[in-house]
Structure 1
Amino acid sequence: MFGGGGMNPRKMKQMMEQMGIDVDEIDATEVVIKLEDGSQLVFGDPDVTKMDARGQETYQVIGEPEEREGSGDSAAAIDESGSDESSGDESGGDEGGIPDGDVEIVAQRTGASEDEARDALEATDGDLAAAIERLE
């Protein structure tokens, strides 16, 4: 991160706090990066860290991505295949192609109701970060 190589993690955290940098672990179950060509990089069970340095948020995703070809529209991909392999949500209950887990994440992060979170996700084509930004 800062070239700390063998630096003590506690000392690194202390230095970051002194510089006004907050670091939080995020309990993410999946991260999807949509590429311009319509394909996706899907990180299942990633390690996600959010760093806030004086109002500028940076996210670090660590994991092994799976490459998926497609139109970039997850709702269309679900309709064509008949199943949603990317949601990881065993409880079902997806309305309009938005996984319930995504709705819960947005609602929890923003304090919005689940209906508001689902509407924001639908308006942003399932983009978690954009939906959160829209509600904050």
Structure 2
Amino acid sequence: MFGGGGGLNPRKMEQMMEQMGIDVEDIDAEEVIIRTEEYDLVFNNAEVTKMDARGQETYQVIGSPEEVEAGSVGGSDAAGSDAESSIPDDDVEIVAMRADVSEEEARTALEDNDGDLAAAVESLE
């Protein structure tokens, strides 16, 4: 497709991608973490490339990951944000209204009760 003889000149490839509307950017990443239910894949010193093809962003990660226990990396800030995102905002609003408390208090009660609305409301009354 691109001709023979051992590959395409990187400069030529860059020009072709630019003509097709594809922007390529190298990202200086220190660490990349991919979380699954069973484990986390941790890439240290990975090569990360971002490609933007007319608004559709694609990331390429090159490196050798270390497989670790799920949720064991990323620090306490990451764990906190994961817990918050797992509680739907609608549930927070319902608990806040029923128990007549702030949304922050409602979210904390839901987190403490594993997302159980009734138990969260009961714990706040």
User: One fold, TM greater than 0.5?
Assistant: yes
Unaligned runs of 5+ in 2: 84-125
Which residue is 1:23 aligned to?
A: 24
Matches within 5 A, 1:84-99: 86=73, 97-98=76-77
Normalized per residue, the structure richer in helix is 2
1:98 CA drift (Å): 3.0
1:14 counterpart SS class: helix
Structure 1 stretches of 4+ with a deviation exceeding 6 A read: none
**Cα offsets for 1:54-79 (capped at 9, x unmatched):** 00000000000000013x3xxxx4xx
Which residue is 2:58 aligned to?
A: 58
Bigger CA radius of gyration: 2
Which residue is 1:9 aligned to?
A: 10
TM-score by length of 1: 0.51
Aligned residues: 82
RMSD: 3.0
Which residue is 2:34 aligned to?
A: 33
Task: Indicate the percent of aligned positions where both proteins have the same amino acid.
Answer: 62
TM-score by length of 2: 0.56
Unaligned runs of 5+ in 1: 78-85, 88-93, 100-120, 126-136
Counterparts of 1:68 and 1:43, CA distance in 2? 11
